[in-house]
Amino acid sequence: MKTNQATKQSADCLNSLLRGELAAADTYQQAIAKVGGQQGGEELQRIHLEHCEAAATLQDQVRRCGCDPDKTSGTWGAFAKAVEGTAKLFGNAAALKALKEGEEQGISDYESALADETLPTECKTMIVSRLLPQTRSHVAALDRLMTINA
């Protein structure tokens, strides 16, 4: 059985991933407000929804650890604001590039979480089978949108 320290460490890892998903959801919401009616808007809405679903899944996992899930994106929120500012100043192509960089950071975060020995197997399975492939598909979708908007 896990010790309390290991359970807390697992919850901390999951909360870190959760903050990233909350920030991503916020960022996509802002991008949709800017480009939602244009070509690719539906794709951005789909990705936004997937980030919301991932956040809900991670919240459930944190609760299973007996801890409270974070409710805000914390420092990740600053990234969301930077993307919004980028879109206003430099247009859609720069915003899409910033969204892609955020997704790549998400991939890195998920890969790092898989190395956490305290993270329960069911959490690692969820990351490997669902969250990581989904995030990788977001990168591919953004690459397609950048090609369309080039």
Hey, what CATH topology would domain 4-148 get?
A: Ferritin (1.20.1260)
pLDDT in tens, 50-72: 999 999 999 999 999 899 999 88
Could you give the C-alpha distances from 146 to 9, 26, 92, 141, in angstroms and in order?
A: 38, 20, 9, 9
* 20 in Cβ contact with 109 (< 8 Å): yes
What distance in Å separates the CA atoms of residue 120 and residue 4, rounded to the nearest whole number? 13
Domain ranges of the chain: 4-148
Phi then psi dihedrals of residue 43, to 5 deg: -65, -40
Of the pLDDT bands very low, low, confident and very high (cuts 50, 70, 90), residue 1 is very low
Q: How confident is the model at residue 94 (pLDDT cuts 50, 70, 90)?
A: confident
Distances in whole angstroms, Cα of residue 128 to Cα of each of 7, 84, 100, 107, 134? 20, 30, 20, 11, 10
Structure tokens at 106: 């998400």
Q: Check the CA dihedral 8-28-43-87 and report its sign.
A: negative
pLDDT at 75 > cutoff 90: no
Is the pLDDT confidence value at 87 over 60? no
pTM attached to this predicted model: 0.87
CA distance 89 to 19: 26
**pLDDT exceeds 50 at position 99:** yes
HSE-CB at 53 with a 13 A cutoff on CA atoms is 11
